[in-house]
Amino acid sequence: MHEDIKAVLITEEQIKQRVQEMGEQLSKEYEGKRVIIICLLKGAAYFACDLSRAMSIPVRMEFMVASSYGNSTSTSGSVAVRLDVADDIAGMHVLLVDDIIDTGLTFAKVKALLETKKPASVKTIAMCDKEERRKNGMHADYVGFTIPDEFVVGYGLDYAGDYRNLPFIGVLKPVVYART
């Protein structure tokens, strides 16, 4: 375990198992459909890639950059889309993938933007769900793990750009983010 981690919340093995289960479920539900995974960078990159490999159906992948955090531990309340999808998604089934749904603001804004592009459907997928922090009633259609209201890092989740590469999801020691 890394010295800045207070506790491991979700192990590497638990992540692998859950991602495999989700990939199998999505493969069944979307069999025979034109599917595109839209990964919200940077946090969802690990999850989206692993999820796509766990799916047995053909999928395309696109990337977007949208954020409401910056280098803070809490949302700014304002969602900025810095990179939109390049592909035409009209008529496709969109799986919008993010590392975490917290307040729900980012998912809601990006989903609304994608719906203007006339896809067949848009479903949201979050690796982690902090339901108790929701501000807008938004719920992900598919969730890997529901987690407590702790500041977590690893498996794509970061603090100021660090810790994404940890193979597990862990609670960051408060002393780490109290320094800044």
Residues known to be catalytic: 102
Q: Label each residue of the chain as H, E or C.
A: CCCCEEEEEECHHHHHHHHHHHHHHHHHHCCCCCEEEEEEECCCHHHHHHHHHHCCCCEEEEEEEEECCCCCCCCCCCCEEEECCCCCCCCCEEEEEEEEECCCHHHHHHHHHHHCCCCCEEEEEEEEECHHHCCCCCCCCEEEEECCCCCEEECCECECCECCCCCCEEEECHHHHHCC
Cβ–Cβ < 8 Å for 39, 143: no
End-to-end CA distance of the chain: 23
